[in-house]
Amino acid sequence: MNVYVHVTNGGFEHEIWELTRVFFPSWSVKVFDHLPAQSDNPGEKGDSCGDLLVVAEYTCSDFEIVAKSCLKDGRGRVLFESQRSQKLDDRTRGSYLKRKREIKKVLCQCVYDVLSRFTGKYPNWGILTGVRPLKVVHHLMDDGLSDEEVLSALKSEYYVRDDKASLLVETANNQRDIVKSSSADTVSLYIHIPFCTTRCLYCSFPSVVMDGYKEIVDDYIDSLVTELDKVVSVLLHKGISIQSLYIGGGTPTALAYPQLERLLSAVDLLLDGCSVREYTVECGRPDTLDIDKLSLLKAFGVNRISINPQTMNQETLDEIGRRHTVEQVVSRFHMARYVGFDCINMDIIVGLPGEGVPHMEKTMKAIAGLQPDNLTVHTLAVKRASRLKDSLDKYPLTSDDTAERMLEVCQRWVKRMGMVPYYLYRQKYMVGNLENVGYTKPGKACIYNIQMMGENQTIWAFGAGAVSKVYFPENDCIQRVPNVKDVKEYMDRLEEMIRRKMRFIDLCKGGVEDDL
């Protein structure tokens, strides 16, 4: 079954496509760049009369937005239709960005109207379909709305469920000081180590299994250090400050001790005493950690690490391809505390194959016993690049209702642990159309996570598959500057990756070029 989407004016096809997909998760949703003639209506041929067509259009004068949408069946008959209008105040009329956001909101409201009437569904997140729903909240707060007014807007204008709206406002308040601390002269750095001991069932990150790449790991570090040296030295020369530094993967601690030491030494030499407020290294796999590596990280000024079990149920760990034990998670956590780390994050995943509410209770009880400083609760997302995507017959997805109850278990335990939500994001193809939430104890929020998801600070990213995000405040937009994903290709094209970054460093003081 297919749903076709057409926006008469163009410009918001992606948003309407995403919203339509929420209502029809098992259907194929496609964008039509032109309104089909009667003869080529999707349902006019063969057995496709069950197909649907979503049509949306809008007009925007200096004073008013008018939006319309209708849902047609495969033979072109209108099933439901909606029309909405909204007056523009002086502040919105005078801002291109504000007007664009309002057009998108009213257009999505119309589409939501017809699709909810047809399906009887009222999604938890309403018309908020993007990765970063918190951006809407911060925009509303920037406009001077109180918390109560923001809550009201989320529920009445964006159709967000009460508990999700409250979660958004609470999270926004907990991160707002860091979000507002961004400036054009402050950036964060990300360094990508694309090597893992195994590839997890659900993983879609640009990473490879170490066993097949051992011969080139040293060469990769050489390339990485070269890229860092040439780019970061220019940034520092221009007076740019580095707020946070994050080494992720993959699994950075999958590197052998001498390789890890060489990387950390190069970073230390490059920064040359520059003050970095937060320095994180992902130690995701506990079986890659020992007392020597942890001591090495501590000696080089790393002040935040992640030890990520994903679950504390051994049978699930075995099933998803993580070759470590629950006992190793516990022992390495205590080892990190012994070395002196006072900011340790742990990640877990709701909806892993075969898990239900009792499994989540067991996981959360075990984590509460460790008392990490941060806890990131992910909801399983089925990504195209994962092994899970091609194995759904073997690993059926957790039901939406079960995933929701598992999330409630997590929320109950994090409150007991004295944690509050500090960042939140969503992904496509998430079980239950839910969310990922980072929780923290007071004073331990991860700056990098907030800035990466907030998209109002430039993040320079290094290594194979790393994507820099250059922020242009004049346009309030991000320009992605990707490195190639393949490890060997990255090394071969290193100079090209460096030149690409240099071009954007020169642009950072101005606006986005027209041809970008």
Does residue 223 sit in the same domain as residue 239? yes
Measured CA to CA, the distance from residue 176 to residue 184 in angstroms comes to 17
Question: Domains in the chain: how many in total?
Answer: 3
Does residue 238 sit in the same domain as residue 379? yes
Residue 477 inside a domain? The answer is no
CATH number of 209's domain = 3.80.30.20
Q: Of 462, 483, 509, at which residue does a domain stop?
A: 462
Q: Of 446, 512, 488, which Cα lies nearest the Cα of 190?
A: 446
Residue 505 inside a domain? The answer is no
Measured CA to CA, the distance from residue 441 to residue 469 in angstroms comes to 28
Does residue 118 sit in the same domain as residue 131? no
Q: What pLDDT score does 512 carry?
A: 39
Cα 231 vs. chain centroid, distance in angstroms?
A: 25
Residue 483 inside a domain? The answer is no
Q: What pLDDT score does 430 carry?
A: 84
Strand, helix or coil at 73?
strand
Residue 161 inside a domain? The answer is yes
Does residue 240 sit in the same domain as residue 333? yes
Does residue 20 sit in the same domain as residue 131? no
The pair of three-digit structure tokens given for residue 43, joined into one six-digit string: 């349902």
CATH number of 2's domain = 3.40.50
Does residue 104 sit in the same domain as residue 238? no
Residue 498 inside a domain? The answer is no
Does residue 146 sit in the same domain as residue 281? no
| 161: containing domain | 126-172
Residue 370 inside a domain? The answer is yes
Does residue 63 sit in the same domain as residue 192? no
- Phi and psi for 172 in degrees, rounded to 5? -60, -45
Does residue 160 sit in the same domain as residue 209? no
* DSSP codes, 226-246: HHHHHHHHHHHHTT-EEEEEE
Q: Of 447, 462, 477, at which residue does a domain stop?
A: 462
Measured CA to CA, the distance from residue 375 to residue 368 in angstroms comes to 10
Measured CA to CA, the distance from residue 9 to residue 19 in angstroms comes to 17
Measured CA to CA, the distance from residue 323 to residue 330 in angstroms comes to 15
Kindly report each contact of residues 31-40 with a partner whose C-beta sits within 8 Å and lies 24 or more positions away, as own/partner: 31/4, 31/5, 31/6, 32/4, 32/5, 32/6, 33/6, 34/6, 35/6, 35/8, 36/4, 36/6, 38/76
Residue 426 inside a domain? The answer is yes
Does residue 220 sit in the same domain as residue 232? yes
pLDDT for 256-284, tens place per residue?
Answer: 999 999 999 999 999 987 889 999 999 98
Does residue 195 sit in the same domain as residue 265? yes
| pTM exceeding 0.75 | yes
Measured CA to CA, the distance from residue 360 to residue 345 in angstroms comes to 18
Q: Of 403, 317, 309, which Cα lies nearest the Cα of 357?
A: 403
Residue 132 inside a domain? The answer is yes
Q: What pLDDT score does 513 carry?
A: 41
**Residue 455 Ramachandran class (φ > 0 left, ψ -120 to 50 alpha, else beta):** left
Residues of the chain with pLDDT under 50: 38-40, 43-48, 510-516
Does residue 329 sit in the same domain as residue 433? yes
Measured CA to CA, the distance from residue 121 to residue 113 in angstroms comes to 10
